[in-house]
């Protein structure tokens, strides 16, 4: 579980970094490069989709953890 979380985190981090690079790439463009722009947009879309899924997992896991901790507190 812990390993999974760590892996997930590093995975999410790497994907976020990559996504940030794509966003930055778009910001830096002075001229329109349709092919590269398309390529970056597709790459970004994949990353966003994956990140959303990962976030859903993380959120679910966090909800479980929260529930556990709250039940311990109530004891």
Partner 1 sequence: MEHIETAVFSVGEFLDYINEIFSARTYTIEGEISEFRPHPTGAYFSLKDKEGEGILNCYMNPFTYRSLGVTLEDGMLVKAHGTPKIYKPKGRFSFVADSIELSGEGTIRKAYEALKKKLEEEGLFSRKREIPEFISRVGIITSKTGAVIDDFRKNLKSRGFELFLYDVRVEGAQAHKHIAGAIRWFNGHAPECDVLVLIRGGGSLEDLQPFNNELVAREIFSSRIPVIAGIGHDRDVPIASMTSDYMTSTPSFAATLVNESWKRLFETVPVAERRIVDGCDDIVYAVNTAIGAAAEKFISGIRYIRTQTRAYTQTILRAFSDTLEKTKTVITNAEKIVVLMNPERNLKLGYSIIYNGDGRVLKSIREIKKDDTITASVADGSFKARVETI
Place of tokens 């722009």: 37
Place of tokens 């989709």: 49
Neighbouring CB atoms inside 10 A of 58's CB total: 15
Q: What's the closest the beta carbon of residue 54 comes to partner 1, in angstroms?
A: 9
Counting DSSP H helices and E strands in the chain, the numbers are: 2, 0
Q: Which of residues 8-67 bind partner 1 (CB under 8 A)?
A: 12, 16, 19-20, 22-23, 26-27, 31-32, 34, 37-38, 40-41, 44-45, 48, 51-52, 55, 58-59, 62, 65-66
Query: How far apart, in whole angstroms, are the C-alpha atoms of residue 62 and residue 70?
Result: 12
Residues lying near partner 1 in the complex (CB under 8 A) are found at 12, 16, 19-20, 22-23, 26-27, 31-32, 34, 37-38, 40-41, 44-45, 48, 51-52, 55, 58-59, 62, 65-66, 69, 73
């Amino acid at each position: 579980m812990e390993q999974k979380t760590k892996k997930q985190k590093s995975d999410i981090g790497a994907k976020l970094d990559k996504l940030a690079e794509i966003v930055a790439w778009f910001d830096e463009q002075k001229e329109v490069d349709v092919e590269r722009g398309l390529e970056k947009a597709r790459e970004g879309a994949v990353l966003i989709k994956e990140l959303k899924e990962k976030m859903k997992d993380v959120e679910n896991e966090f909800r479980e953890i929260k529930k556990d901790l709250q039940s311990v507190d109530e004891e």
